[in-house]
Amino acid sequence: MLGSTIRTQVAIVGAGPAGLLLGQLLHKHGIDNVILERQSGEYVLGRVRAGVIEQGTMDLLDEAGVGARMHEDGLVHEGVQICVDGIRHRLSFKELTGKTVMVYGQTEITKDLMDGRAAAGAPTVYSADDVALHDLFGDQPRVTYRAGGKAHEVACDFIAGCDGFHGVSRKSVPQSAIATHERVYPLGWLGILADTPPVSEELIYVRHAHGFALCSMRSPTRSRYYIQCSLAEDIDAWPDDRFWEELKPRLDDEARRRLVTGPSIEKSIAPLRSFVAEPMRFGRLFLAGDASHIVPPTGAKGLNLAASDVRYLAQALAEHYVEKSAAGLDHYSQRALARVWKAERFSWWMTTLLHNISDNHFDRKLQLAELDYLFRSKAAATAFAENYVGLPY
């Protein structure tokens, strides 16, 4: 049965952070947009992912008018700690770069963006099935989908593919038009969320002979921990006690003493992957966020890259509609990819520095030499801090 045909300026596929933030920024510029999301709103809000956001991402959330709760509840972090075989070292972002990062969960950002969108009265279609992109290289692209047992269509000027790594947008592009670059690591992160106080006020990245671990948090009463695991791991084989027993030996004495264990409220395994699809524009389709690139989570860059893509894209669309200039749209892919590749490099570097990836003794010795250099050289520490707090847009 035929349902509605809606006309809008920008059709956005995906209501993750990229799609919702783009929608909000476009709305601020007076540009109409419709978001189509495959999942329900509750499902999107139930995903536990990023924890660390850069100053540039905070600024964008403020610009989108949804930063109030973040400033109230977010935790400002002036540094980070790296523990190597039981000895902890601190790197101060504040001293090295004058900047800080914010610990504020992706779940909360998503909620703030959804609330902002509802307040703006901008349309989002959740549980949209069979989303399909049409006529990308013509003047009048369309997006079709099914909802409530009916077929619907969105006619638009542009499509923003913000539908994540497994989305339909990137797959709608002719194979000959797109180049993909990928590195798959033979490991994953097993993550646990628990209502227990964090072991430390700052994040601790742990390099240990048993494998990587990360002590993070969502609030002074909610912890987020990760341990390196094999890709073949079955989540059902990881009752909470087993997780805590695996984490403990990787920590330093003080962290082990302060560790408060408790029942998990979420547990999941994420594979580690580096991936870039180029270019990010195909006619009237623009990819943004995980739809176009993936980083392993070690550098805390995924959500922040989605935000920088969206900033370039929102600016470019505003230039198109307000100033009637195509320059921003023409340069979008090149500008976004320049920042993407630097974050790819940093995330790959941090991943290979801290994980147990290779059995080769030479590789292990190199890791330790690199870490020693990082702790002793101000130049090396500054390069690390500069990347962690986020390179300029």
Q: Does 225 bind ligand RFL (CB under 6 A)?
A: no
Q: Among residues 27, 117, 301, 335, which is the contact residue for ligand RFL, using CB under 6 A?
A: 301
- Rule CB under 6 A: say whether 44 interacts with ligand RFL: yes
Tell me if residue 151 falls in helix, strand or coil.
Answer: strand
Instruction: Determine the number of helices (DSSP H) and then strands (DSSP E) in the chain.
Output: 12, 21
For residue 114, the minimal CB distance to ligand RFL (Å) is 11
SS3 355: coil
If one asks whether residue 27 binds ligand RFL (CB under 6 A), the answer comes out as: no
| Nearest distance in Å: CB 194, ligand RFL | 15
107 Cα distance to chain centroid: 11
320 labelled catalytic: no
Segment contacting ligand PHB by CB under 6 A, of 113-121, 168-176, 258-266, 295-303: 295-303
Contact call for residue 51 and ligand PHB (CB under 6 A): yes
Query: For this structure, is 205 an active site residue?
Result: yes
**Given 293, 301, 320, 355, the catalytic residue:** 301
Side chain identity at 61, as an amino acid letter? L
- Determine the Cα–Cα distance for residues 153 and 382; give it in Å rounded to an integer: 50
Please report, as residue ranges, which positions from 4 to 23 form the binding site for ligand PHB (by CB under 6 A). Answer: none
Does 71 participate in catalysis according to the annotation? Answer: no
The active-site residue out of 104, 185, 205, 312 is: 205
3-state secondary structure of 50: coil
Q: Where in 84-123 is the site for ligand RFL (CB under 6 A)?
A: 106
* Residue type, position 54, single letter: E
347 binds ligand PHB per the rule CB under 6 A: no
Cβ(290)–Cβ(340) below 8 Å: no
Residues 251-284 as b/e (b if ≥16 CB within 10 A, e otherwise) read bbeebeeebebeebeebbbeebebbbbbbbbbeb
Q: Does 162 bind ligand RFL (CB under 6 A)?
A: yes
Which residue in 223, 228, 298, 351 binds ligand PHB (CB under 6 A)? Answer: 298
Which amino acid type is present at position 146? R
Taking residue 43's Cβ as centre, other Cβ atoms within 10 Å add up to: 12
Catalytic residue numbers, as ranges = 77, 205, 297, 301, 388
Q: Which residues bind ligand PHB (CB under 6 A)?
A: 50-52, 203, 216, 224, 297-298, 300
